[in-house]
Structure 1
Amino acid sequence: MQRLWVTGYRSYELNVFVDRDPKITVIKYALKNYLTSLLDDGQLDWIITGANLGVEQWTAEVGLELGEKYPVRTSIMIPYEEFANRWNDSNKAKFLNLKEKVDFFASTSNTPYQSPLQLRNYQNFMIQHTDRALMIYDSEHPGKPKYDYNLIQKYQETKEYPLDLIDFYDLQDAAEEYQENHQINHFSE
């Protein structure tokens, strides 16, 4: 079984504040290309991500879409109960919708937020229950994902644990490729 942990930037770290932002399309396109290549090679059974607004929820959406064509399952894990309680109604609705659709959902803690230890336990759970990781992350722009990135780097000192990165240069390439592949030919009408 191949289990992939996918994480990355929160939406606000990418200056994404509306669902129609073209950056989301590009990120999902890059994720789909990466995940499809693993699926085509028979190297992926589970896509495991968190529930943070941004890369993690977009990953869950892409995973669910790919699950219609491939034998892959999608899981969302959260670090504590009542994870989305402080979010606005729209974001809570997105979270609950994904929670209902994924193949597996659980919390690594059975209590609401109490301490940063819950976040560390979550990270340790994710790394110990997956075989590799994918991050949408650029070390020149650390943000919140730096904690996961640093943990994975340290873990790699003693364990075989592949980490693939999609950085801002990769996203720029994906944007250009997406645009080339989706141009509308107005002259054919």
Structure 2
Amino acid sequence: MKVLTVTGYKSMELSIFKADDPKIAFIKAAIKKRLISFIEEGLEWVLISGQMGVELWTGEVVLELQEIYDIKIGIIPPFENQESRWPEPIQHTYQELVMAADFHQPLYQGDYKGGFQFKAKNDWFVEKSEGCLILLDDEHPGSNRFFYEKAKQTTNYPIYLITPADLDDAVEEYRMADPDYWN
């Protein structure tokens, strides 16, 4: 697989309201671990729409990984100025990510016009990628369920999940990396 779409929950769906929330480090660690395995198998591009939460964190992880690996990030938002109503620090993060991206192009010119733009975004990502990685808890789906449903309807489209158990593993690995853990 050369092109992977990554998506998941928006930050508020995870009860994360601050950029320094410690939960973000665990989510990013789980994303990084999975991306490295895909990169080592030949992954070349990660595609995101840039929505706040998992997608922005994925973008930050890819930028970190670019220091070691030959991996590219494409940001394809459903429309222009999607970040205009976000909190200012998150807008800043998004704009920095867009500036650093290897590719950036909104699907629709202009601002938000309607829900059809989000459906078109999901269709586009499934069509343009060879598989997806989704942070998803089947028992508590959020806005990511729309992409997940589209992906499940697509024949021969691999769906990889980061589950709550994967996040628990990331927390445990983080704790075990602390030298005081072993004392």
TM surpasses 0.5 = yes
Alignment of 1:6-85 (within 5 A): 6-42=6-42, 44-85=43-84
CA distance in 1, matches of 2:86, 2:20: 19
SS at match of 1:91: helix
Letter in 2 for 1:119: F
Residue pair 2:176, 2:182 contacting (<8 A) in 1 also: no
Q: How do residues 125-140 of structure 1 correspond to structure 2 at under 5 angstroms?
A: 125-140=124-139
SS at match of 1:135: strand
SS at match of 2:75: strand
Which sections of structure 2, spanning at least 5 residues, go unmatched?
none
1:165 to 132, 142, 161: 161
Q: 2:179 aligns with which of 153, 174, 184?
A: 184
Equivalent pairs: percent with the same residue?
A: 34
Question: Paired residue for 1:95?
Answer: 94
Q: CA RMSD in A?
A: 1.7
Change (3 A) 1:186 1:119: closer
- Name the CA shift for 1:71/1:143 in 2 (closer, same or farther; >3 Å): same
Q: Which runs of 5+ in 1 are unaligned?
A: none
Moved over 2 A (4+): 184-188
**Aligned mates of 1:11, 1:134 — CA distance in 2:** 17
TM-score scaled by structure 2? 0.95
Between the aligned partners of 1:96 and 1:26, the Cα distance in structure 2 is 23
Q: Distance in 2 between matches of 1:16 and 1:83?
A: 19
Larger radius of gyration: 1
Deviation at 1:19, TM superposition (A): 1.7
Q: Please give the alpha-carbon distance, in whole angstroms, between the structure 2 residues aligned to 1:37 and 1:141.
A: 27
CA distance in 2, matches of 1:98, 1:41: 25
- CA change 1:185–1:135 in 2 (3 A) is same
Cα drift, residue 185 of structure 1? 4.1
Q: Which amino acid aligns with 1:126?
A: F
TM-score normalised per structure 1? 0.92
Cα pair 2:175 2:181 within 8 Å, conserved? no
Q: Is 1:146 the counterpart of 2:141 in the alignment? A: no
The 1:119–1:177 alpha-carbon spacing in structure 2 relative to 1, beyond 3 Å, is same
Output aligned runs, 1:98-137, within 5 Å. 98-137=97-136
SS in 1 for 2:84: coil
Q: Shift of the alpha carbon at 1:89?
A: 2.1
Residue type matched to 1:19 in 2? A
Cα distance 1:83–1:186, how it changes in 2: closer, same or farther (>3 A)? closer
Aligned residues: 183
Q: Give the secondary structure class of the aligned counterpart of 1:53.
A: coil
Describe the superposition over 1:40-66 as per-residue Cα deviations: whole angstroms up to 9, x where unpaired. 222x00011121111000000001111
